[in-house]
Structure 1
Amino acid sequence: MHTGPVRACRRERIWVMADVIVLGAGIVGICTAINLQRRGRQVVLVDRKTPGRETSYGNAGLIQKEGVRPYAFPREFGTLLRIAQNTSIDARYSPTALPALAPLIMQYWYNSAPERYRQIVADYAPLILSSVDTHAELIAEAGAEDLVSKDGWYRVFRSAKARDIAFAQAEDDERRYGVTNRRIDGPEMARIEPDVMIPMSGAIHWVEPWGIKDPGSLADAYVALFRKLGGVVATGDAMSLATAGKGWRVTTDAGPVEAGEAVITLGPWSRGLTRQLGYRLPLFVKRGYHMHYGTQDNKPLRHWLLDSETGYLLAPMLKGIRLTTGAEFAPLDTPGNPVQLEAAERVARQFFPLGERREPQPWMGSRPCTPDMKPVIGRAPKHGNLWFGFGHAHHGLTLGAATGKLLGQAMTGEKPYLDLAPFSAARFGS
């Protein structure tokens, strides 16, 4: 149980002795910290910034229970040619990033082959199917129900061809995995969202996912719950993590923190720290952008809408209508490029009567990805007292609570509700 109480020295420096240090206060780290704290561990959650203000803040705000198929790399020649031209809205790349990214992108392409992708989906589906239930536990305990919409979301189609292909796959997903959906025609979709300005051939209504009206506020509610349970939040540098006796030490603004175990939940920054500790994990980044808008004549956006054939999403958030982009392949921590969002905005203004921008600059975040599309969850192969929880790509918010519960169970001797072997870092030979 506890290795020691939280305590302060009489001198200027403050030391905290704990059971676990969780490094990274995005949604995955926050949920992990809660699950450990509620199981009797004394946890210190460390981040360089305010919790929940990196990638966990800027996303589509969906808990995507239907997302049993992770985003595969395109293999159709026409799609590849379009991406290569680097003018599409759904996927762009920084030319300067290609030399370093090329080996990882080739692995991503390789794993997207049908025979390998089928096994990846089989591993991935049970994890994402637990996403709503695991979040529901925390949302109720945190008193954050007012942030939740339970109306699902809509994948909208402009052409009958794209609609029919997607309908067939949605029908298959419902049969195989039980993800409930409604396949609706264009006139019904026009009644559901009467202010959309283009003809629609139809839509898939994914019924079971939950929408979060302000992901940053959900992170705040979860942090408040963590503190209520006795957890400690500290500002510090995760890269300072080092062994200390049989445990770990990290530097914070308040002073050093020591604990018997540590968990790395640093999202896209996990690669730097894991390399420092002797791991060579194939992590890369997909960046994304968002902007909030008002509406013309106060016309409301009623639901989350993905303009499927174009590659952007509109979400009715508390701060306005949030437009989120697809993926940008670029180096971590390099300046953002507004081109992708500007291109999406031009198309979105033809789709829905967006009003003024509500922020001076687009928000940008980085998604941590692996070439086999599965997160890394579980014990670090070379350290018995180090744990990993990162690599969730487009589903960080979705899988935050599920990952936190699995790590909480595994680290406290409970049998995890899912087999962690498919998500082990050992699959990469590290």
Structure 2
Amino acid sequence: MSAGGASGREVIVLGAGMVGVSAALALQAQGRAVTLVDRGQPGRETSYGNAGIIQAEAVEPYALPLSLPTLARMALKRDNALNYHLGAMPGHLPGLLRYFLNSRPAKHRAISVTFRVLTEGATAAHAPLIEAAGAGAMIRREGFRQIYRTRDKLDAEIREVERLSRDYGVNATVMDGAALAEAEPNIKRPMAGAVQWNDAWTCSDPGGLTGAYAELFAARGGAVVSGDAASLTAQGAGWRVSTADGPVSAPDAVVALGPWSPALLAGFGYRISMVRKRGYHRHHRCAAGPVLPLMDADHSAVLAPMRAGLRVLTGAELTAEGARQTPVQLLRAEAGAAELFDLGAPVENEPWTGVRPCLPDMLPMIGAAPRHKGLWFDFGHGHQGFTQGPVSAAMLVRAMAGERDAVLDALAPSQARFA
């Protein structure tokens, strides 16, 4: 859509992933004239490549392990949850150290007080957008399953389920091997059992859902334009960005660029430490795959039925920005998936890869830039941008209206949260 009448725009949103598109829709609903700017099509970067799960059950952020045996397995690359490149680690260590300190139980519990607000309301926040965008065919409301080959690992997860149910009211069902085999009849081998997270919704095309939200935004009068966020400059009392349709100016600009946000904001003097966790996926033809998305705990992988095929997704890789692909985790995940289902040929020759934008305190930055009037942050959602986008957008709207409360204060950009 053209950015015609650019002088009348009120807000520029940089980044058309789930977080940015959700922010654009929420600001538009407040009567603001919004221009959504991205270098590519909406939903074709990080929001395209995730597992497509709206994780209403994810009331706590992913903490780094604290046990020495687990850390040793990761250091020795014996746990498929993590791969790393030694030469890249100096750049990651400052952020990882802060992330590790924030993973300590007392600190993690305090962070979770805020984090749960962004996820518990996720399905309710997505629901009206899914309906208005006509995207209901992409969505299932039956949860997903976390599967286990061995009883000891299942028992450990059952204890975790009991804790989450007691502390947060999380709705989950424990399945033994027989119940799992009945629910997932295509699994080829016996399993110890599973946990089904009942409150999650799943999407067969996460990039497509993000694109449908962007089309809804455009249909409601929003401007979606191609442009380079790096061209953002302060102009008088507002902001200006160059686009294919010409320059766009507005009093307010929202940075919702996910993993690319720190690089842009470094030019304005903000040093933001981010743990960039690379992930991989590849689709396979699979005539008889899982009924619901499955998290294969033994291989730290997710097997998600998608329109394009069975998507096999990996854990985290710590590497240098722009480094070549080293999909060793994906190969292990695919081998694990082949133990369970008859995988056909890969749909793509090369795997997709993207970056999860994880901040060391495990919370996104949502709110006003401390030193630049009219500049707003909405990024750093880690593993949960697809889930949290619409709830984060509501928080951004409140922050831009000048509201304050404990949650907004915890999410706000502040010197203590910078590098």
TM-score (norm 2): 0.96
Which residue is 1:318 aligned to? 307
Contact (CA 8 Å) 2:289, 2:342: kept in 1 or not? no
Once residues 418 and 249 of structure 1 are traced to their aligned partners in structure 2, the CA distance between those partners, rounded to angstroms, is 32
Once residues 160 and 269 of structure 1 are traced to their aligned partners in structure 2, the CA distance between those partners, rounded to angstroms, is 41
Structure 1 position 279 matched with structure 2 position 279: no
Once residues 417 and 294 of structure 1 are traced to their aligned partners in structure 2, the CA distance between those partners, rounded to angstroms, is 49
* Alignment deviations for residues 188-238 of structure 1 (CA, whole Å, 9 cap, x no partner): 011111221232112111111000110111011101100011110111111
Structure 1 position 425 matched with structure 2 position 409: no
Once residues 370 and 305 of structure 2 are traced to their aligned partners in structure 1, the CA distance between those partners, rounded to angstroms, is 42
Which residue is 2:104 aligned to? 113
Once residues 42 and 330 of structure 2 are traced to their aligned partners in structure 1, the CA distance between those partners, rounded to angstroms, is 25
* Alignment deviations for residues 365-421 of structure 1 (CA, whole Å, 9 cap, x no partner): 1110111111111111212311111111111101111111221233245x5898311
Structure 1 position 155 matched with structure 2 position 143: no
Q: Taking structure 1 as reference, are residues 275 and 406 closer, same or farther at Cα in structure 2, changes over 3 Å only?
A: same
Structure 2 unmatched ranges of 5 or more: none
1:59 to 50, 53, 64: 50
Structure 1 position 290 matched with structure 2 position 278: no
Once residues 261 and 423 of structure 1 are traced to their aligned partners in structure 2, the CA distance between those partners, rounded to angstroms, is 19
Post-superposition offset of 1:16: 4.7
1:341 to 330, 333, 345: 330
Which residue is 1:12 aligned to? none
3-state SS of 1:40 partner? coil
Which residue is 1:303 aligned to? 292
Contact (CA 8 Å) 2:299, 2:332: kept in 1 or not? no
Which residue is 1:221 aligned to? 212
Once residues 367 and 231 of structure 2 are traced to their aligned partners in structure 1, the CA distance between those partners, rounded to angstroms, is 22
Which residue is 1:396 aligned to? 385
Which residue is 1:369 aligned to? 358
Once residues 146 and 239 of structure 2 are traced to their aligned partners in structure 1, the CA distance between those partners, rounded to angstroms, is 46
Which residue is 1:92 aligned to? 83
Contact (CA 8 Å) 1:23, 1:45: kept in 2 or not? yes
User: Counterparts in 2 of 1:30-41, with a 5 A limit?
Assistant: 30-41=21-32
Identity of aligned residues (%): 42
**Number of residues paired by the alignment?**
417
Post-superposition offset of 1:77: 1.3
Letter in 1 for 2:368: R
3-state SS of 2:373 partner? coil
Post-superposition offset of 1:339: 1.9
Once residues 208 and 340 of structure 1 are traced to their aligned partners in structure 2, the CA distance between those partners, rounded to angstroms, is 28
Structure 1 unmatched ranges of 5 or more: 9-14
* Alignment deviations for residues 125-155 of structure 1 (CA, whole Å, 9 cap, x no partner): 1221011111112111111111101110001
Once residues 324 and 256 of structure 2 are traced to their aligned partners in structure 1, the CA distance between those partners, rounded to angstroms, is 23
Once residues 417 and 200 of structure 1 are traced to their aligned partners in structure 2, the CA distance between those partners, rounded to angstroms, is 46
Which residue is 1:11 aligned to? none
Letter in 1 for 2:324: P
Structure with greater proportional strand content: 1
1:206 to 197, 201, 217: 197
* Alignment deviations for residues 291-348 of structure 1 (CA, whole Å, 9 cap, x no partner): 11112xx323211101112200101111111111011112233322222211211121
Which residue is 1:262 aligned to? 253
Once residues 292 and 3 of structure 2 are traced to their aligned partners in structure 1, the CA distance between those partners, rounded to angstroms, is 45
Q: Taking structure 1 as reference, are residues 163 and 323 closer, same or farther at Cα in structure 2, changes over 3 Å only?
A: same
Contact (CA 8 Å) 1:6, 1:16: kept in 2 or not? no
Letter in 2 for 1:262: A
Once residues 175 and 242 of structure 2 are traced to their aligned partners in structure 1, the CA distance between those partners, rounded to angstroms, is 54
Contact (CA 8 Å) 2:147, 2:194: kept in 1 or not? yes
Contact (CA 8 Å) 2:12, 2:36: kept in 1 or not? yes
Which residue is 1:182 aligned to? 173
Q: Taking structure 1 as reference, are residues 412 and 115 closer, same or farther at Cα in structure 2, changes over 3 Å only?
A: closer
3-state SS of 2:242 partner? strand
Once residues 409 and 140 of structure 1 are traced to their aligned partners in structure 2, the CA distance between those partners, rounded to angstroms, is 24
Post-superposition offset of 1:253: 1.6
Once residues 141 and 280 of structure 1 are traced to their aligned partners in structure 2, the CA distance between those partners, rounded to angstroms, is 39
Contact (CA 8 Å) 2:3, 2:245: kept in 1 or not? no
Which residue is 2:155 aligned to? 164
Which residue is 1:131 aligned to? 122
Q: Taking structure 1 as reference, are residues 371 and 362 closer, same or farther at Cα in structure 2, changes over 3 Å only?
A: same
Letter in 2 for 1:224: E
